[in-house]
Chains A and B, each alone.
Chain A
């Protein structure tokens, strides 16, 4: 994949006096984290494949403030939120899609009372929507016969009750979907939420991501699918801790669809 991705910005759209169908909110992890950037690019490929007229904010995007809020810094959160809302409203953004369930939850639920009202959806929901509209179809059989187990991100699942979209999308790959004992409402956190991603775990007798990886390994999977860049990191680390890198891979739903 040597060709450079075409990623239009809102500023470019505005210069042409146009509005994109949807704004792709990349998020901090998706912009800077090496593993998460792959998910971002995979999703862009999916968007291109479905001929979606999308744009990103690019350098005008800033951190949602979600992680600061969960850490207790309501000031920083609201400062970030107000700045982002100003930009989004200036571009008259109506619809937002993101690969990060934390951004998804934050913009969808916590921006409205600060003046940011948008239709916010998670990328698994958008992929499902594109498939239902016939704009995106899976031709290949890359994952046929592979065993995939989906790890529910807390901020997608329990926080916003989105359980079916990622599963419906995964079904189209013709892979065999297996469920962990703890799934959907009872899914175990990967250990990254609530700002834990950015600090050492408090003293305990086990790492949460290892426990969750054990849940996943019980299903004997070839692939652990996730829909969150942080879950992805945690599960990937878990797989390394369990020395299963040779047999199990951790992939985002967007990557699975881009490869199919």
Chain B
């Protein structure tokens, strides 16, 4: 009977990690619905980006206030999680504070002491974050796409962190042996007096309850990630790795178009030639993107990584001047549609059944796409290398090349380029006239 807690712990752990793994598999499957991307180039630059941008938070601190606060929570989160290792070992083997048996008391005390200080720092920061969202009402958290679930989601994550940090501190404060040892209880020694007058049994029970709730809470939080905007704590790293290593101004040249253009320009090509045998089975290439499957796997990973911080939108010239476009919404829409497609596949035995919907029109409107100035402000701002602009451009490509649905003035401009090599209706032969004018 004495192994019952160990067994219960193991079951909770397996369930928690198992369900998470199942959802991560689903996430990977959904991302693979996108077009494959070759990112085997520039390995060292990509790793440097991971170290600087993801691990080193170099772009977060461009905005010093939120950047600093984020670093506190980030460092706290990463370091305090070392404690989870001990909890798991204790839980499985029925030990108590295994760290004390491995490490000298002073080292162990130093570690737990740092965790406690970080826990309090995280608590304070999380309260400030909550105030920024709900009381100070920082503008970028109030856009129209942030109403409803995205707003609750942001707060729920903060509540999670408050509860987890409090449980950690209470657990330490009510651990009488740990308090008696008097090493590492930097913060919890001030919480311990709150429980004065409790019997040893009661204290032990509180400590156990806090311990169990803490580890269960962590597992619940882990599983909450997939359903929230908070996946960035994991996906920021691969996302930065796969982020562009080219100048921001460089837009990819569509290969399918290159092939057709080459054919058109080739004087030896026979326009009446019968298509090659294999060509009949081939699905004609679709130019641009109207749904998530047309986007690249990196763009879909971008969508899952977005944590809806809104730095992109707060720097977007279109958003700043009241246009419908919000780069953050582009990312949120992409993810929502991808999730919808994923659920559709789950419900139809692994095959996508046409649901009469698509990303373009049902989520993202033409008006949003045509408001973009391609200025790259959103790309520059994103702390985790997301590129909303590339999605906007791919959808414009679909509008123009598949639907001829560009605004009329742009059609005129393009006709001019076709006819006389300039966006205005001037004669090509007048191109050097400026040199003759005074």
Q: Which of A26, A61, A211 contacts B320 (CB 8 A)?
A: A211
**By the criterion CB–CB under 8 Å, are B322 and A58 in contact?**
no
Q: Is the CB of B257 within 8 A of A109?
A: no
The segment from B13-21, B135-143, B366-374 found at the interface with A is B366-374
> Mask for B354-376, Cβ within 8 A of A = 1, else 0?
00000000000001001111111
Judge whether B423 and A198 touch: CB under 8 Å: yes
Q: Are the CB atoms of A78 and B249 closer together than 8 Å?
A: no
**Interchain CB contact under 8 A, B321 and A208:** yes
Q: Could you say which of A28, A185, A192, A193 contacts B380, with CB atoms under 8 Å apart?
A: A185
Q: How far is the CB of B157 from chain A (nearest CB, A)?
A: 28
Q: Which residue of A lies closest to B262 (CB)?
A: A82
B225-250: CB near A (< 8 Å → 1, else 0) gives: 00000000000000000000011111
The interface centre, meaning the residue of A56, A158, A160, A191 with most chain B CB atoms within 10 A of its CB, is A158
B side interface size, CB within 8 A: 69
A70 at the interface (CB under 8 A from B): yes
B401 & A73 in contact (Cβ 8 Å cutoff):
yes
Interface residues in A188-220 (C-beta closer than 8 Å to B): 188-189, 191-196, 198-208, 211-212
Asked if B428 and A75 sit within 8 Å, CB to CB, the answer is: no
Q: Which residue of A lies closest to B325 (CB)?
A: A202
Known: A63-B423, A72-B397. A82 touches B317 (CB 8 A): no
Contact status B253-A63, CB under 8 Å: no
Q: A4-B438, A62-B428, A211-B321 are in contact. Are A68 and B417 (CB under 8 A)?
A: yes
A interface residues, Cβ below 8 angstroms from B = 1-2, 4-5, 7, 9, 26, 28, 30-33, 37, 40-41, 44, 56, 58-59, 61-63, 65, 67-76, 78-80, 82, 105, 108-110, 113-114, 154-155, 158-161, 185-186, 188-189, 191-196, 198-208, 211-212
List residues of chain B with CB under 8 Å of any chain A CB: 246-251, 253-254, 257-258, 260-262, 264-265, 287-288, 315, 317-318, 320-325, 367, 370-377, 379-380, 393, 396-401, 406-407, 409-410, 412-414, 417-418, 421-424, 426, 428-438
Further contacts, 14 of them, CB under 8 A, given A68-B413, A188-B320, A201-B321: A32-B426, A44-B435, A56-B435, A58-B431, A59-B428, A73-B397, A76-B418, A78-B257, A186-B380, A191-B373, A194-B373, A203-B322, A204-B318, A208-B373
